[in-house]
Amino acid sequence: MNNLPQSVTGEAYESNEISDKQVLTLPWCPYFGAAADLLSRRWALAILRALMAKPLRFNEISSNIPRITDRILSQRLRELEGGRV
């Protein structure tokens, strides 16, 4: 199968070998919080959705997302790029 421990794959949790309280003590991925913060920002998911099919130019992204301002689009694109998304 895979060489990852059950605490990483979630197999132990899914098979009810560990309780909900034990899940809270599992090792925390250091990248999870940063990714959640980045993706939870307004417009981030809309921008990613627009870019899923193919690369787009700035104006194409802007026209695909109604009501987003150029300033916010530029800022979010910089943040996503900085986060290597």
- Taking only the tens place, the pLDDT of each residue in 27-73 is 777 788 888 889 999 999 999 999 999 999 999 999 999 999 999 99
Q: What is the C-alpha radius of gyration for the chain, rounded to an integer number of angstroms?
A: 18
Query: Model pTM?
Result: 0.64
Listed by start position, the domains of the chain span 41-85
Cα distances (Å, whole numbers) of residue 58 to 51, 75, 81? 11, 12, 14
- Which tens digits make up the pLDDT trace of 4-27? 454 444 454 455 565 666 655 667
- Tell me how many degrees the CA angle 25-3-22 measures, rounded to the nearest 5: 15
Q: Hey, what long-range contacts does 63-69 have (CB within 8 A, 24 or more apart)? A: 68/43
